[in-house]
């Protein structure tokens, strides 16, 4: 049976049981669905660039530096491995097994991998290494009978950064050809196998693979470029097909991954795995690229893509004594998963945190498709909630609001207070109107701009209680979040 997939700093952190400080009445989900009752239990791990695969009843994430973890509920995670050193259970003799790759890349570590199960029942890990200060990289395949390893090397499939003739027969040019890292491998709706990959350098590329061997089909070179180039800070591509909308969604990370790099998650979509991909404004993502002669020209490509989240911090509202702020710094390099049984979409990513430097952990947020067929991300981490049917009375009230904007910036967006009044108006930090339809669909208009999304009852770690939230998005690709003031 084929397991359906899609549809470095190392720090292990274990979070204890969260205490419930709200009353049963406050925790009750008035709108129905899950997300009520006792406080959820989280156990956190560090896996940079987590790529997800579900095997039977367990979710696995694989990331840079040969790190991995697993969970049955996407909330409590157990670390499996970490560190490119002999003895790592994924590749026990990694320094010799992947010596050719590490030698080519002049590196002692591995970058973001991806794991998929093919028709032979075996698990194929697409590993990669990169020098880092140049696109001198190699990508290969290692295969295992068990998802947790051990994986045996089957050889390199792509190289980049060479001084001379490249894999597609031309002289390698880092402005136009890819850095062969950050692979994501997926089956399309017709059973064809594809890989999307690339980071900075010449952009993001898509290759067609042989579904039996997992290797690239012949005569493709590096494949088809779908966006980026001229060292645009765009990487971490991940593709998810939605049977609900019949679109392929290409998730991307813009900016730099460090705490001061302004990493942020964006998305574009296409009817085909090899594009063309467009954003909510209809802009072709092939034009999202840097400027020749200018290194990391962020303003040139910042207008492209639907921005799902960047740096933010929910601050306690006046009167919320004893509450803590909650937020992320440089969230990014995500994967995504669609559960055909429940219809739930999940966004899985690593993030850093305000005031905690380069320390990072895995986070999972639920996603929903809005009326325009674009994913919107729930404001708080996934805690087992299921969207319910709510009333205007449930939705009305004061919210701390985050406007993620479109810029690529290391600045952290701090929440502002708004009120969704019972008469359908929005007051406070912004002005406008709001409405609730079909039980949970949200329409909020601010300063003449319409935002579409959903209301959702969630667990708020900052207030240690269940609160109403909203997540909405404009056709300009701007996302706004709200979390009810307790």
Domain ranges of the chain: 50-377, 393-484
pLDDT of residue 165: 81
Per-residue b/e over 110-136, b at no fewer than 16 CB within 10 Å? bbbbbbbbbeeebbbbbbbbbeeeebb
393-484 placed in CATH 3.60.20.10: no
Strands 413-414 and 312-314: parallel
Write the DSSP symbol of residue 294. B
Q: Say how far apart CA 196 and CA 174 lie, in whole Å.
A: 17
pTM attached to this predicted model: 0.93
How many other C-beta atoms can be found within 10 angstroms of the C-beta atom of residue 308?
26
What is the spatial distance between Cα 270 and Cα 354, in angstroms, rounded to a whole number? 35
ω into 93 cis (within 30 of 0)? no
Whether the CB-CB separation of 136 and 72 falls below 8 Å is answered with: no
CA distance 66 to 223: 26
Cα 260 to Cα 60: distance, rounded to the nearest angstrom? 29
- The reply to whether CATH 2.115.10.20 applies to domain 50-377 is yes
Residue of 49, 182, 326, 452 marked catalytic: 49
How many CA within 13 A on the CB side of residue 351? Answer: 24
Tokens matching residue 357: 């430097």
pLDDT for position 322: 66
Q: Which residues pair with 126 in a beta bridge?
A: 114, 141
Name 448's Cβ contacts closer than 8 Å, sequence gap at least 6. Answer: none
The secondary structure element, H or E, covering residue 96 is helix 94-97
- Is residue 24 helix, strand or coil? helix
Q: What is the pLDDT of residues 432-460, one digit of tens each?
A: 999 999 999 999 999 999 999 999 999 99
For residues 186 and 190, what is the distance between their CA atoms, to the nearest angstrom?
A: 11
Do residues 130 and 201 lie in contact, with contact meaning Cβ atoms separated by under 8 Å?
no
How many other CB atoms are there within 10 angstroms of residue 260's CB atom? 14
**Residue 164, pLDDT score:** 83
Cα(415)–Cα(377) distance, integer angstroms: 17
* Residue 291: exposure state from Cβ atoms within 10 A (0-12, 13-18, ≥19): middle
**For every one of its 486 residues, what pLDDT tens digit does the chain have, with 9 covering 90 and above?**
333 454 333 333 333 322 222 322 333 333 444 455 689 999 999 999 999 999 999 999 999 999 999 999 999 999 999 999 999 999 999 999 999 999 999 999 999 999 999 999 999 999 999 999 999 999 999 999 999 999 999 999 999 999 888 777 789 999 999 999 999 999 999 999 999 999 999 999 999 999 999 999 999 999 999 999 999 999 999 999 999 999 999 999 999 999 999 999 999 999 999 999 999 999 999 999 999 999 999 999 999 999 999 999 999 888 776 678 899 999 999 999 999 999 999 999 999 999 999 999 999 999 999 999 999 999 999 999 999 999 999 999 999 999 999 999 999 999 999 999 999 999 999 999 999 999 999 999 999 999 999 999 999 999 999 999 999 999 999 999 999 997
Exactly one of 235, 298, 361, 385 is catalytic; which is it? 235
Whole-number pLDDT of residue 7? 38
- Please give the Cα distance from 397 to 426 (Å, whole number): 10
* Bond before 327 cis per omega within 30 degrees: no
The residue among 126, 144, 90, 85 whose CA lies nearest residue 335 is 126
Q: How far apart are the first and last CA of the chain?
A: 47
- Placement of tokens 């067609």 in the chain: 208
Residue 49 appears among annotated catalytic residues = yes
H helices then E strands: how many in the chain?
Answer: 5, 30
CA distances from 26 to 265, 388, 415 (A): 32, 16, 22
Q: What is the pLDDT of residue 9?
A: 30
235 belongs to the catalytic site: yes
Q: Could you tell me which residues come within 8 angstroms of residue 77 by beta carbon, excluding any fewer than 6 positions away?
A: 43, 44, 45, 61, 69, 70, 71, 362
């Amino acid at each position: 049976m084929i397991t359906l997939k899609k549809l470095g700093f190392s720090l292990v952190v274990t979070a204890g049981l969260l205490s419930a400080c709200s009353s049963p009445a406050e925790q009750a989900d008035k709108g129905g669905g899950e997300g009520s009752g006792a406080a959820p239990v989280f156990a956190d791990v560090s896996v940079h660039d987590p790529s997800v695969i579900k095997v039977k009843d367990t979710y696995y994430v694989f990331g840079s530096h040969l790190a991995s973890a697993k969970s049955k509920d996407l909330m409590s995670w157990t670390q499996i491995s970490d560190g490119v050193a002999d003895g790592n259970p994924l590749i026990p003799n990694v320094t010799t097994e992947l010596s050719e790759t590490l030698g080519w890349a002049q590196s002692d570590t591995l970058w973001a991998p991806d794991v998929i199960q093919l028709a032979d029942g075996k698990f194929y890990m697409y590993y990669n290494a990169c020098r880092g200060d140049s696109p001198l990289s190699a990508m290969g395949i290692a295969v295992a009978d068990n998802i947790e390893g051990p994986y045996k090397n089957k050889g390199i499939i792509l190289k980049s950064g060479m001084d001379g003739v490249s894999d597609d027969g031309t002289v390698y040019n880092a402005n136009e050809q890819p850095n062969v890292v950050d692979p994501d491998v997926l089956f399309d709706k017709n059973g064809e196998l594809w890989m999307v990959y690339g980071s900075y350098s010449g952009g993001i590329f898509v290759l067609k693979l042989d579904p039996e061997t997992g290797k690239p089909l012949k005569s493709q070179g590096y494949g088809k470029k779908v966006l980026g180039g001229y060292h645009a800070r765009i990487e971490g591509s991940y593709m998810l097909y939605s049977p609900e909308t019949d679109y392929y969604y290409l998730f991307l990370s813009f900016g730099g991954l460090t705490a001061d790099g302004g990493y942020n998650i964006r998305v574009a979509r296409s009817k085909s795995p090899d594009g063309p991909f467009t954003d909510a404004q209809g802009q072709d993502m092939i034009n999202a690229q840097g400027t020749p002669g200018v290194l990391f020209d962020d303003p040139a490509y910042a207008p492209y893509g639907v921005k799902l989240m960047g740096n933010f911090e929910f601050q306690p509202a006046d009167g919320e004594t004893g509450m803590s702020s909650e937020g992320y710094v440089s969230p990014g390099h995500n994967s995504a998963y669609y559960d055909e049984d429940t219809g739930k979409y999940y966004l899985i990513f690593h993030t850093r945190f305000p005031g905690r430097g380069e320390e990072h952990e895995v986070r999972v947020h639920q996603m929903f498709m809005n009326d325009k067929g674009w994913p919107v991300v729930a404001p708080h981490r996934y805690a087992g909630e299921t969207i319910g049917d709510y009333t205007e009375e449930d939705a009305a009230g004061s919210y701390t609001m985050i406007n993620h904007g479109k810029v690529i910036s290391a600045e952290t967006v701090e929440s502002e207070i708004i009120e969704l009044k019972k008469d359908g108006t929005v007051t406070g930090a912004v002005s406008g109107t709001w409405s609730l339809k079909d039980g949970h669909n949200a329409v909020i208009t601010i300063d003449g701009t319409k935002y579409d999304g959903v209301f959702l009852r969630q667990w708020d770690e900052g207030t240690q209680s269940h609160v109403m939230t909203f997540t909405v998005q404009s056709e300009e690709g701007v996302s706004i979040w709200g979390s009810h003031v307790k």
